[in-house]
Amino acid sequence: MTTRRLGALAVVLAAALALSGCGILPFFPGGGGGGGDRPGPTGEDVAAELEQYYTQDVAWSGCGASGIDCAEFTVPLDWDDPAGDTIQIAVARHKAKGTPLGSLLINPGGPGGSGYDFVHDSVNYIVSSQVLAKYDIIGFDPRGVNHSSPVACYTDSADQDEWLYGTYSSAYGTQGWYDELTGRAKDWAAACEQNTGALLGHLDAASVARDMDVIRAVLGDTELHYLGYSYGTYLGTMYAELFPKKVGRMVLDGAVDPTVGDLDALATQMAGFDSGLRAYMEWCLQQSGCPFGGSVDASLQSVRQMLDTVDARRFTASDGRVLDSATVATGIIFTLYSESYWPELSTLFTQLRKGDADTVFVYADAYNGRDPGGYADNSMDIYTAVTCDEGTLADDGVDVFAGLERIDAAAPILGRYAAYDDYAVLKAVCTNWPVPTAKLPDSFTAAGAAPIMVIGTTNDPATPYANAQSLAKQLSSGFLVTYNGEGHTIYAQGVACIDDTVDAYLISGKVPSADPKC
């Protein structure tokens, strides 16, 4: 069935760029939590087999960051078999200083972004100081992600490097290349099955939404207040569809359209990155030291020519990795998530022209969650695994080469090369995935839900504005808030019109009379 979409191409930068306090967001003063303990679980009526989860006691303890405490919540591995095996969901909490309005559950995106790390490491940056004072801020790692019961595929960094960065004996776009990729995909999927076990088949958004409902109830909230970014908007939408009467104040920023099939979503997303690249080029050509000259269109064609020819040059990084065109596209895309990174994109192009592969790898590694010591998280593993668990690529009837042509037509600068390391990899893995695709809702009206805020940025490269327009219309109580500008997601980034609108809604429940079109 045609369901949803791939959120941010990679994990909303797995909270690396995704609002993590690396200079993208303003600093909000205020630090440790201080409110008293909330009352226990809500005690609401649930099916007898679910009572153990909805009434559980959790043990909170300090977890190394000022004002943050952490706990683990127990949920069923398989929600269709709640008496069976269980898994753990890791939660980090920053308490409001006074009596809170409630808990505000936050997800930074992905699939694969760590809400636990998001709150643990950067709570002062991810909401306004006013919201920080009024809510207990709750970050959680969805099932499969890092601190929760995790997905594990390759456990050796060298194997993961070969999977993510290895070059091929046949040229990209040929049958020989795709045959080689398919062999690697089968090996990777087999490693996931061996090292993850039964959890591999229960990573879908509906299972996560049910986990969120347990967190809500155990925290003592009769309604779920929620802030989701990028793929996190899909989790919020799924929760609203499954539990509409339990929706409190919900903000969905950088919205995913849950009804669009994966290939169409990727083609639209790649077009968004091309649009972001054009916006960068318009800016760059007005700067001294821009590595391009002439018209915007001619400069964009120079980028495409660079991508067309880089494979033959075999630029090699200082660690021995060989740079290919798909990795260059990945590095470029990382810098397009925010216009704050445009100067770094100029540096990338300047260094690449000198044959320096290291600079590209810096940004590609950030995208893939890799650092000099290895892989900091399992974000790329969970991204692929969730896509295969709940996506449409395995059975959409589209040949991979036809899919590549569709993406190339939609995004004639970056699309094909980004797709070699994304769409084609997903196609190869999902076609050979060892577990069935989850059965999920195919419409999302959330009938009976309280008003839901959907935020869209007009030139968002990762989740294009049309997604937000569509989602706001699909949700029976959805309302659209538009930001006319660049970048992926916008709340708590210093735009007063957006921040004031969101804060008034979260704190006072105020719904704007019309789209403020910030």
167-204: pLDDT as tens digits = 999 999 999 999 999 999 999 999 999 999 999 999 99
**pLDDT at position 9 over 90:** no
Q: What band does 14 get if pLDDT is binned at 50, 70 and 90?
A: very low
Summarize pLDDT for 196-231 with one digit per residue, the tens: 999 999 999 999 999 999 999 999 999 999 999 999
Quick check: 112 pLDDT over 60? yes
Band the pLDDT of 39: cuts 50, 70, 90: low
6 or 42: whose pLDDT is higher? 42
DSSP secondary structure, 394-425, as one string: GGS---HHHHHHHHHHH-TTTHHHHHHTTHHH
Mark out the alpha helices in 39-198 (DSSP H runs).
Answer: 51-54, 115-126, 129-134, 157-165, 175-196
Nearest to 471 by CA among 446, 499, 492: 446
- CA atoms lying within 13 Å on the CB side of residue 312: 5
Burial status of residue 285 (CB atoms within 10 A of its CB: 0-12, 13-18, 19 or more): middle
Determine whether 422 is an active site residue: no
Q: Looking at residue 27, what DSSP letter applies?
A: -
The pLDDT tens digits for 329-340 are 999 999 999 899
Of residues 296 and 14, more confidently modeled: 296
pLDDT for the residue 38: 58
Percent of the chain with pLDDT over 90: 86
Secondary structure (H, E, C), 440-456: CCCCCCCCCCCCEEEEE
**Which one of 148, 230, 302, 379 is the catalytic residue?**
230
Model pLDDT for residues 382-416, shown as the tens digit of each residue:
999 999 999 999 999 999 999 999 999 999 999 99
| pLDDT, position 64 | 83
What is the predicted pLDDT for the residue at 31? 34
* Domains of the chain, each with CATH number or no CATH: 11-150+204-260+447-508 (3.40.50.1820), 152-202+262-390+392-436 (no CATH)
Q: Is 508 exposed, middle or buried (0-12, 13-18, 19+ CB in 10 A)?
A: exposed
Q: Which of 262, 311, 381, 460 is catalytic?
A: 460
Does 347 score more than 80 pLDDT? yes
Q: How far apart are the first and last CA of the chain?
A: 36
Average pLDDT of the residues in 274-297: 96
pLDDT, residue 125, reads 87
On the question of a cis peptide bond just before residue 111, with omega within 30 degrees of 0, the verdict is yes
Q: Give yes or no for a contact between 488 and 337, defined as CB atoms under 8 angstroms apart.
A: yes
Give yes or no for residue 260 having a pLDDT over 60. Answer: yes
pLDDT value of residue 325: 97
Tell me the pLDDT band of 33, cut-offs 50, 70 and 90: very low
The answer to whether residue 82 scores a pLDDT higher than 50 is: yes
User: What is the pLDDT at residue 5?
Assistant: 31
The residues with which 452 forms a beta bridge, in sequence order, are 250, 478
Q: How far apart are CA 215 and CA 74, in angstroms?
A: 9
Query: What sign does the dihedral 294-297-299-301 (CA atoms) show?
Result: negative
Residue 16 backbone class (left: φ over 0; alpha: ψ -120 to 50; beta: rest): alpha
Q: What is the enclosing helix (H) or strand (E) of 40?
A: none
| Residues 127, 138 contacting (CB under 8 angstroms) | no
Mean pLDDT across 54-77: 94
Res 178: pLDDT? 98
Q: Is 230 designated active site?
A: yes
Mean pLDDT of 88-117: 94
Task: Calculate what percentage of the chain has a pLDDT beyond 70.
Answer: 92
- Which listed residue (141, 311, 488, 499) is catalytic? 488
Annotated catalytic residue 365: no
| 70-74, 196-200, 370-374, 498-502: the lowest-pLDDT one | 370-374
Per-residue pLDDT, 40: 78
Task: Evaluate if residue 36 carries a pLDDT over 60.
Answer: no
Is 70 exceeded by the pLDDT of residue 434? yes
pLDDT at 23 over 70: no
Averaged pLDDT score across all residues of the chain: 91
